[in-house]
Amino acid sequence: MDLAPNTYNSSCKVLIENGELDGEVPDWSIVEWQKEMNENNIDWQFHNHYQTPHGFALAPGVWSTAYTEAADRRSTLSMLSLFAEVWPLEKFPQNPVQANACGTKLNQHVCRVSKL
């Protein structure tokens, strides 16, 4: 089968939140993905959450859940931080939220220091 060629937008930012114990994401695939992003000048972050399986941000009781509260909280705060970077708070203020969509209490909010 012929595959369509990939095209890359090097002005984007990519954030991956992954569970360290995710059996669906083998180490070799992470290395290959990083290599592909680097070769195409993509600004990326990859967070591998300690002792965390696949499905860590799915609410308890959801099919295929492996909910891990710390990883769910950290990944949400990481996402909000990237939003603050991409959309500057001076122009696009973030409203504080007490919990994410799963209901995990964040207990903190993202703030950004003004540029010096």
Query: 70-90: per-residue pLDDT in tens?
Result: 999 999 999 999 999 999 888
Its pTM stands at 0.84
User: According to the model, what pLDDT value does residue 116 have?
Assistant: 46
**Is the distance from CB of 66 to CB of 53 less than 8 angstroms?**
yes
Percent of the residues in the chain that have a pLDDT greater than 90, as a whole number: 68
CA 36, 4, 82, 100 dihedral sign is negative
Q: What separation, in Å, do the N-terminal and C-terminal C-alpha atoms of the chain show?
A: 53
Q: What is the pLDDT of residue 111?
A: 62
Tokens of 100: 């994410």
CB 82: neighbour CB atoms within 10 A?
15
Pairwise CA distance, residues 71 & 46, whole Å: 13
Give every residue of the chain whose pLDDT is below 70, as ranges.
109-116
How many Å apart are CA 106 and CA 100, to the nearest integer? Answer: 7
For residue 53, what pLDDT is reported?
A: 95
pLDDT at residue number 95 = 86
